């Protein structure tokens, strides 16, 4: 007998304004679940997640949570108000029975010290603090809405490993294909207000979705043909058999009603670039270029040549200097030493990560036209701005909408729409994939593949890099940048490792926080005896074995069918895991105690 679900949504409906956002949504979260929730931007994924978290009341439907089940929800926009430090914010999410050391452990693992002021966090730092708060209690159910947004590659890969080892059931919303493929074992698709589920991870979803759309289109074609045949009968074939004719006429009205009520998929994004005259062969050449800010080296003696048609990806941890490097290559800032030579006839279009070029008070139309009329020139042809906006999934009603009320995904689509309308032979894109849905990512990738100019791309999306770039420039630390042929996966294969996390400067300025309060050294004892020395030497190996055993046990318990298939094994694994975690905590405390004695003896 399968274990009962921890969380269930049945026949859920919610309407904002006229058209229902969610009509018939179902969600079942069982122990050990690994599900991804997918759908177009604006389809209601985040709203459904908030309903599951108990934060939004639907118009209709049943939400059931097993008694005693703990649920943690990661919102896209966490609220840090009222907390003096990031540690206080994370600890506020803990309950009396939770291990408080996990708050510091998770913050440190994510590159924070716990002493940061939450009101002064960057987007990436805020996301890390919110993740720490969601993960710290080790809940039964984790609802994560875009957990990889604003994270760099080391943090994304760390998060993957952490979630693989968790016992919590997972429901994920993300635009990161590789992240979803690595973690999901089932997929819930929210489309036109209705959920459909397949017992496959995200890697099998897109083929299934395309087959579904093809079958739907065939059914729609059959319906249209049947309506056409019935209308032909109505015009030419009515006879005196009134009773049968009335019934057939009623059937025709029902068919027409079914066609009117048929909600088709939201239109797809259409992307077309305005290409300028070709540039020279050379785009940019750096010779022994160096750039530092104070004692910190951003670029150290870099030599790089970018030629026409190149597809260059730039990757590195947050703070490695990717945006500074872009500005150097584009001539926006001068190097401390070395030379930068730019090619001839360059017409670059630069898409900045911060979206600083969008003024909140401007309307969507003004952003595209510059406030001059209602037309925009794309590819040498004049188009009405409403038609061009439809290509990027904006409704006619949004044409006069202020930028300030747009969502993150809508702002990004608008910036891309404006960038592609400008004639260019060089595209410089700094994190273009942020907040885009998967279908828009596909079309952006196709557009970049057909683009005849040169592309320089900064991104943390591993799958997107693999699909788009021809070489990768990666930060090796201390200002060193090395170029590798191929995409991100090729770089990892050649280098033997992915992008490494940059050491956090804040952590160097303040004493490093311990995962838990350090135990006091025993009074009156100033040096280690032989037994203590041996124990200090062997403890790290023992802790490593315990950590490996814990990871293995968590992997066993992550099987959602284990309890139903073998309850005895489930109980044994749970008890063994609790014992191993307790032994590991004691071993860590003992190691800290002995390490303090060793430090005191050396002093």
Binding-site residues for ATP: 39-46, 316-323
Q: Is 298 helix (H, G, I), strand (E, B) or coil?
A: strand
Look at the block and give the residue holding tokens 């969601």.
Answer: 134
Q: Measured between alpha carbons, how far is 451 from 348 in angstroms, rounded to an integer?
A: 13
Instruction: Please state at what angle helix 530-557 crosses helix 153-165, rounded to 10 degrees.
Output: 80
Binding-site residue ranges:
39-46, 316-323
Residues 6+ apart with CB under 8 A from 507: 108, 111, 113
Q: Under a CB-based contact definition with an 8 Å cutoff, are residues 259 and 434 in contact? A: no
Q: Measured between alpha carbons, how far is 129 from 585 in angstroms, rounded to an integer?
A: 24
Q: Is 492 helix (H, G, I), strand (E, B) or coil?
A: helix
How far does Cα 63 stand from its chain's mean position?
27
Q: Measured between alpha carbons, how far is 330 from 347 in angstroms, rounded to an integer?
A: 11
Buried b (16+ CB within 10 A) or exposed e, 516-533: beeeebeeeeeebeeebe
Give 3-state DSSP helix, strand, coil % of the chain, rounded to 5. Answer: 45, 20, 35
| Phi/psi at 70 (5° precision) | -100, 135
Q: Measured between alpha carbons, how far is 263 from 433 in angstroms, rounded to an integer?
A: 28
Q: Under a CB-based contact definition with an 8 Å cutoff, are residues 294 and 257 in contact? A: no
What is the DSSP secondary-structure string of 179-222? HHHHH-SEEEEEETTEEEEESS-GGGHHHHHHHHHHHHHHHHHH
How far does Cα 415 stand from its chain's mean position?
19
Buried b (16+ CB within 10 A) or exposed e, 581-595: beebeebbebbbbbe
């Amino acid at each position: 007998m399968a274990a009962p679900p921890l969380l269930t949504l049945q026949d859920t409906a919610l309407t904002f304004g006229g058209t229902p956002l969610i009509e018939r949504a179902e969600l079942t979260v069982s122990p050990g679940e690994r599900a991804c929730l997918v759908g177009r931007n604006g389809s209601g994924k985040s709203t459904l997640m908030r309903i599951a978290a108990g934060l939004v009341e639907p118009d209709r439907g049943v939400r059931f949570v097993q008694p005693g089940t703990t649920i943690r929800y990661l919102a896209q926009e966490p609220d840090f108000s009222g907390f003096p430090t990031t540690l206080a914010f994370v600890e506020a999410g803990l309950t009396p029975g939770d291990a408080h050391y996990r708050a510091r452990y998770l913050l440190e693992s994510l590159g924070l010290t716990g002493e940061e002021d939450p009101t002064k966090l960057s987007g990436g730092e805020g996301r890390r603090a919110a993740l720490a708060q969601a993960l710290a209690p080790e809940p039964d159910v984790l609802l994560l809405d875009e957990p990889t947004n604003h994270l760099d590659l080391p943090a994304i890969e760390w998060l993957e490993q952490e979630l693989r080892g968790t016992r919590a059931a997972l429901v994920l919303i993300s635009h990161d294909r590789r992240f979803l493929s690595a973690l999901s074992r089932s997929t819930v698709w929210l489309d036109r207000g209705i959920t459909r589920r397949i017992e496959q991870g995200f890697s099998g979803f897109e083929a299934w979705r395309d087959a579904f759309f093809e079958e739907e289109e065939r059914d729609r074609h059959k319906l249209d043909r049947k309506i056409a045949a019935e209308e032909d009968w109505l015009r030419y074939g009515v006879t005196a058999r009134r009773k049968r004719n009335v019934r057939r006429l009623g059937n025709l009205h029902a068919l027409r009603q079914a066609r009117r009520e048929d909600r088709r998929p939201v239109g797809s994004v259409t992307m077309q670039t305005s290409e300028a005259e070709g540039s020279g062969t050379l785009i940019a050449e750096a010779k022994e270029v160096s750039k530092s800010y104070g004692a910190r080296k951003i670029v150290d003696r870099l030599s790089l040549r970018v030629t026409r048609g190149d597809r260059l990806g730039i990757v590195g941890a947050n703070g490695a200097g990717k945006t500074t490097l872009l500005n150097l290559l584009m001539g926006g800032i001068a190097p401390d030493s070395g030379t930068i030579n730019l090619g001839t006839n360059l017409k670059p279009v630069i898409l900045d990560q911060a979206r600083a070029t969008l003024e909140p008070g401007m309307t969507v139309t003004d952003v595209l036209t510059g406030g001059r009329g209602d037309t925009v020139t794309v590819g040498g042809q004049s188009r009405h701005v409403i038609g061009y906006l439809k290509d990027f999934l904006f409704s006619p009603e949004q044409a006069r909408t202020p930028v300030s009320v747009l969502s993150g995904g809508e702002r990004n689509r608008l910036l891309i729409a404006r960038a592609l309308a400008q004639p260019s032979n060089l595209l410089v894109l700094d994190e273009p994939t942020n907040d885009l849905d998967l279908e828009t990512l596909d079309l952006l990738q196709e557009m970049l593949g057909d683009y005849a100019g040169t592309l320089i791309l900064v991104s943390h999306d591993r799958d997107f890099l693999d699909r788009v770039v021809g070489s990768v420039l990666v930060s090796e630390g201390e200002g060193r940048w090395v170029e590798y042929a191929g995409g991100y996966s090729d770089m990892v294969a050649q280098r033997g490792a992915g992008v490494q996390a940059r050491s956090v400067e804040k952590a160097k300025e303040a004493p490093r926080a311990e995962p838990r309060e350090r135990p006091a050294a025993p009074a009156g004892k100033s040096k280690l005896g032989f037994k203590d020395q041996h124990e200090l030497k062997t403890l790290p190996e023992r802790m490593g074995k315990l950590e490996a055993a814990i990871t293995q046990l968590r992997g066993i318990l992550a099987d959602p069918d284990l309890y139903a298939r073998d309850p005895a094994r489930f109980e044994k694994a749970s008890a063994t895991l609790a014992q191993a975690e307790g032994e590991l905590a004691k071993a860590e405390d003992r190691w800290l105690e002995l390490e303090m004695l060793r430090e005191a003896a050396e002093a």
